[in-house]
Structure 1
């Protein structure tokens, strides 16, 4: 009769015998991850000691098995999450910031609902209901939860823990309709005026006086379409005001993570986001004023920086902008709104493709969907055409 085959990571019967030196040797056959059963041994002064030493060696040998070896369809979902988080750190294909975002979304959005379920219990119907229920609260949270669940369960499929990924069959999320909000030229100039008065010291009571950098940040955002983190990451070496056409290179971004000091990352959000932008005159003038005020900057020094020379965090700049504008009764303005404002202006006066190129988008559909404010004014030429078509005979 055929002998039953061992499963991966198990060992056969332990046998012991006395060696020529008088010590006791314990042996067992252990089936490794490659499917080959190998003999493993350990020695000690006594049979019990040799057996304990062998079992310890076998346990240590199990550590060389893939980490997923301890996961089965009956494992809790939380165990898969821990394994998945370790895996994305080892892969090192996504940024540390994205890793932290994935972990936060998994622990705050998904685990409270799925943490006590086994992998076997997580099917399409349960996942579909969860995503739809979350979407009723927030489309963005549902989208974030969908991403991390799909990635974690895909890992379980690749490592043969479960046969298929239930998230593949979950119904598509429908983004609620929305219109990108952008500023008009009148609103832009009103914001400039408010910041100008604040930087001139109007109403200043205590604390350090404004140093002109908030206004410079706004002018650079308006002149480049750059994200706030990209603007704050501009170095002296990225600025060229001596050429016939002054330019700024967008070549990094500012990163702030919980528990870590804010720092400059040496690349922007995407590869396409790395670009050199020709400056309009108002931005070039704002940068010249900033350079004059900053004095001699080293090539790698940040154009915009705190009083102690460290990077600004995007959160602090956003808060300062909001507070200054709200004192003047202007609400709802964020740094990202300037990016949409620039995209809308370029689209309305040139083309969607040029707007996408300026923003650093690889797909102009992203620009159109998320950055262009729809112009509700129909071409006035229609009135003349209709007059010609349907004019009253007595006119």
Structure 2
């Protein structure tokens, strides 16, 4: 009868021989983790010692995966470290995403439940832990932790600690409250005027880069591009001589501790690469920036004095300074200063375009693959329903009612 084929990680029958020296040698066959047959030998002063040494060699082969190993008693903290190691080695995750994973594990997950063995991480415990994170940290921290927990559990399944992912059956966390602030064209003109007069007669020292702030605002409004995508524009990406002028959104600026400020050669999603026709005010803003940028084709449109691309954090800091200094005037104009960030420009454009031309065009302008994303997160529905609905209903019943 033919011998049965060994399975991966399985050790065959152990045979022990006594050597002429009096010592004992244990021999066996083993199938490693990749299915290759290995012949093992180990010696000892006794039969039991030789067998023990052979089993130790087999365990070493089972654990030789080219990276860290995990036992059945591994804690969430230990599995989290292996999850980060595997992600880093895969080289498929953006540095900024890796930093978000690391921060969630280090600052939230490990302090809350790092010593809990992963095999004890049940659906009930998951619900309780996420509720605690939401209460003691924030909803955003809980939603991020839920995502990381799910991937850590997948690592546990891969290392045969878990048989299923308990996060999938855990209760859903609520979505963050939708931001509803948008700027009307009139309010945007007011913001422009305030930017132009910002710190013109104060003793604060060098005046902020108001040209970059104003032009960046108008380009974001005219293209609906994210701030990182606008700051990634180069001289070769814009064409103000064509009719109409255009801007190619094909990159974004990213900043991480590991790589610093860098230009990623794709927008937030690769499929969101798009060429956008510029309205006249956005084209004027591009022309203004071209007057202060280097003449090289790949020179950044928004650059520092050293010629390096402007960082997202610096632009956002510039905007926050403007909002703080002009808070009273902005509130008088009916502008919600608590929601005044670079994202308000993108949201305002989406709302204006959707009201005039429908959700499909607004979604394409924003680069979304799904119109539901545009509707749920960007377009702010008007309170007043178009009165044409009354005319439609009157026409339907005009001949039936007295």
* Coarse TM-score class (shorter-chain normalised): 0.7 to 0.9
Partners of 1:258 and 1:247 in 2: how far apart?
A: 34
Structure 2 residue 318 is matched with structure 1 residue 320: yes
Residues 108-134 of structure 1, C-alpha deviations (whole Å, 9 max, x = no match): 222222211112211111002222343
1:311-335, Cα deviation, whole Å (9 max, x unpaired): 2111111111121232122333111
> Residue 203 and residue 15 in structure 1: after superposition, are their counterparts in 2 closer, same or farther (change >3 A)?
farther
3-state DSSP class of the match of 2:386?
coil
Instruction: Choose 176-185 or 106-115, whichever is displaced more.
Output: 176-185
C-alpha distance in 1 between matches for 2:380 and 2:365: 16
Contact between 1:195 and 1:325, CA under 8 Å: does it hold in 2?
no
In the alignment, what sits opposite 1:300? 298
Contact 1:9 1:65 in 2 (8 A): no
Deviates more, 1:354-363 or 1:62-71: 62-71
Task: Tell me by how many angstroms 1:350 deviates.
Answer: 1.3
TM-score, normalized by length of structure 1?
A: 0.82
- Structure 1 pair 208/152, CA: closer, same or farther in 2 (3 Å)? same
Could you tell me how far apart the structure 2 residues matched to 1:6 and 1:264 are?
48
- Residue 238 (structure 2) pairs with residue 253 (structure 1): no
Aligned to 2:74: 75
Distance (whole Å) between structure 1 residues aligned to residue 142 and residue 379 of structure 2: 24
Q: Which runs of 5+ in 1 are unaligned?
A: 44-49, 389-395
Contact in 2 for aligned 1:18/1:25 (Cα 8 Å):
no
Structure 1 equivalent of residue 220 of structure 2:
221
The root-mean-square deviation of aligned C-alpha atoms, in Å, is 3.6
Tell me if the contact between 1:226 and 1:250 (Cα under 8 Å) persists in the aligned partners: yes
Greater mean deviation of Cα atoms: 357-366 or 108-117: 108-117
List gaps (5 residues or longer) in structure 2: 1-5, 44-49, 331-336, 396-402
Per-residue deviation, residues 205-255 of structure 1 (Å, max 9, x unmatched): 422663621111111111111100111000111011111110000111111
Contact 1:194 1:325 (C-alpha < 8 Å) held by counterparts: no
Measure the CA separation in 1 of the matches of 2:71 and 2:341: 46
TM-score (norm 2): 0.80
Aligned counterparts of 2:7 and 2:342: Cα–Cα separation in 1 = 62
1:99 paired to 2:106: no
| Counterpart contact for 2:27–2:42, Cα < 8 Å | no
* 1:377 corresponds to 2:375: no
1:356–1:363 Cα contact (<8 Å) kept: yes
